[in-house]
Chain A
Amino acid sequence: MSEQRKKSIGSAPSRRQVLAGAAGTGAALGLGIFAPAVRAQMNAPIKIGCLISQSGVFAVNGANVLDGMSLYFEKNGWSAGGRKIELVKEDDEAKPQLGLEKVKKMIDSDKVDILTGPIGSNVALAIIGFIKQSNSILIVDGAGVNAVTREQKGPNIFRCSTSSWQSNAPAGGWLYKNVAKEVMILASDYSGGHEAMDSFKEGFLPPGGKIVKEIWPPFSNTDYSPYLAEVKSSGVKTLYAYFTGSDAVRFITQFTEFGLHKDFKLTGTGFMVEDDALPAEGDAALGVVTGLHYASTLDTPANRKFVADYRAKTGQYPSCYSDYGYVCATVIAEALKATQGDTGDKKKLQDAIRAVHFAAPRGPFRFDPETQNVIQNIYIREVVRGDGRLENKVIATIPDVRDPGKKMNS
């Protein structure tokens, strides 16, 4: 973090000169009608607030988001639309109340122009009321809770990551067609797990799929052995699971430790075996089939470049969270380019964000004008032993998946 700061300070004078020149040119072109205050604002750096977990359950995911975001801005000289970019980072520790405090601080005293984050759906739900009230622009680059772009949607709220529905329902339909007609569900017993499973059912049940059994271990669980014994005695051969963070690592390793991988097919949400968890899971994750909107193995020019740059910066392979940060930064930069750095006119800025579309590492990216949620490909991936590491190989692509914007079948 300190390194970035040093870099941006070190290169600041020259950029300031450029900006001064740009402002001068602008004035000469007849923009002199702007009040002096507005001109001063145009010279000031654009502040992007990042409400991102840097500790707690999502510590690693948060670090990935920030790395992805910094990577983009580094590659683009920490400026967009002719203005300097400055990140204001706050740690919500995945706690809703703390998240709300930090949001108020960033909006009221830091006066951020655009807010990004959070990772935790609980935090997202806690801050969304205040965001709507304050009319600040929020680009969600983590939280998947459907409501953010459904019941709670608003013109100032965007999501560039994925909705819970997008990362589960399409996989449900695909699994029914290609893997199994009957599954057992295993998911963390908290709102995120329940929403993921409800979404999965919306894809899996309509074509005729059957859920034989549901097992709900508590969130942040350490030992899954009592639940694995239930799996063993159930007789169902395919599982669909949702676990995140440390829960995913523990579940997958213990699943294999009990020898269940020999008799059961494990499928689930892609977060369970993303590149931030795979090294810890090791060979235990081999053969797990999941759906997600990203895979670091995607063979597109945009992703190849992203993976190479990200590895050069961090020494690690990017996860879907790294792509969130990178994509979020791209959205902001593209929108600012369109408004020529103007953040004063919120309506104009929102229109510009809504119109952003580009070839992201994850594939074609655009916003749904209805919900302001992202429209993107969903990939079905299988964990295989790749080039010196475990990786998610893409075995099927479901193109242009759009969140329905409301609960289906009800």
Chain B
Amino acid sequence: MSGAGLEFLVTQLLNGLVYAMLLFLISAGLSLIFGLMKVVNLAHGSFYMLGAFFGLTLIRVTGSFWLAAAVAPVLAAAVGAILEASILRRVYRRGPLDQVLLTFGFTLIFYDLVKWIWGGDIQQMPTPPALVGTVAILGTTFPAYRLLLIVLGFVLAALMWLLLERTRYGALIRAGVDDSVTAAGLGLNVNRLFTAIFALGVGIAALGGVVAGPVMGLSPTMGSEILIVGFIVVVCGGMGSLAGAFASSLLIGEADTFGKAYLPDAAMFVIYLVMIIVLVMRPSGLLGRRQNA
């Protein structure tokens, strides 16, 4: 392969990783929330958007991207926790139709709220000054900020894995995912656990929104745009599996990028094709356990 061809390949590989990490940030929470509460949360994309806009305002007020990236997810998580404890909790026992209807209603409310407060046009979040420009890596040049996104994604994935697999909280969460009724019977405060996990998932999605800001810009439709692909990732990875969400993010992120590069006419179709193939071969997703439904 020629040098230019290899450079092209490496660049696309990195592009795929960037997209994969953003997908992971949205799908991690989506997958956990579904795994634990069996709720199809259509409002998840709204929290991604909310995080981004909270971040935008924080940057404008404080001038610091890093402060915004730290505080905005906490604010969004607080909104998520209040919503879960006050309204969403009431539909856990009802069918998926009620849940979808309710969370879809939330997306409309958040869409209008954001449009009302921040306006309907696309807004650009400034790249942190230290990371403006490109750096040389693996024989190509790549935007420094995008490299940070890749690192951030891997670090967060590792942290979440540690939380779930190596801590007491993680054990509680896994117990809740496996069988929430029995877990409650054994003295686990399921309500508090649900709220905590919902807030965690929302916070990670909101962080995704903030860090995506400098790359993709902010608009009231950003949540619904990424949510659809987020669902594809969750379904391919296996509902409720964090490792599945990570593996699936990588697969979908790279498939989408290489599809756009090598099969431009079928670009929109490639990720759906991947999803179909995965689901035919593994109906419960890459790393999903069979659901007892």
The residues of A with any CB-CB pair to B shorter than 8 Å are: 55, 59-60, 63, 215-218, 220, 222-223, 225-227, 229-230, 232-233, 245-246, 249-250, 253-254, 257-259, 276-277, 280-282
Contacts and interface: CB of A to CB of B under 8 A. Distances in A.
B127 to A, nearest CB: 7
Dominant secondary structure of chain A at its interface with chain B: helix
Nearest to B16: A226
Given A226-B260, A257-B145, A250 B216 contact: yes
A32 B214 CA distance: 68
B260 A259 contact: no
Contacts of B15: 223, 225-226, 229
B11 A232 contact: yes
A216 B261 CA distance: 11
Contacts of A215: 264
Interface residues of B, number: 40
Interface of B: 4-5, 7-8, 11-12, 15, 18-19, 115, 119-124, 126-127, 133-134, 141-143, 145-146, 215-217, 219, 221-222, 225-226, 257-258, 260-261, 264, 267-268
B121 A223 contact: no
A225 B18 contact: yes
13 contacts: A59-B115, A60-B121, A223-B19, A225-B11, A229-B12, A233-B7, A233-B8, A257-B143, A258-B141, A259-B134, A280-B121, A281-B124, A282-B124
Contact of A259 (B12, B123, B124, B143): B143
A258 B134 contact: yes
Contact of A276 (B121, B142, B216): B121
Nearest to A232: B11
B62 to A, nearest CB: 19
Given A258-B134, A259-B133, A280-B217, A250 B143 contact: no
Contacts of A282: 124, 126
A218 B268 contact: yes
B257 A226 contact: yes
A281 B122 CA distance: 9
Given A233-B8, A259-B134, A226 B120 contact: no
B216 A222 contact: yes
A226 B261 contact: yes
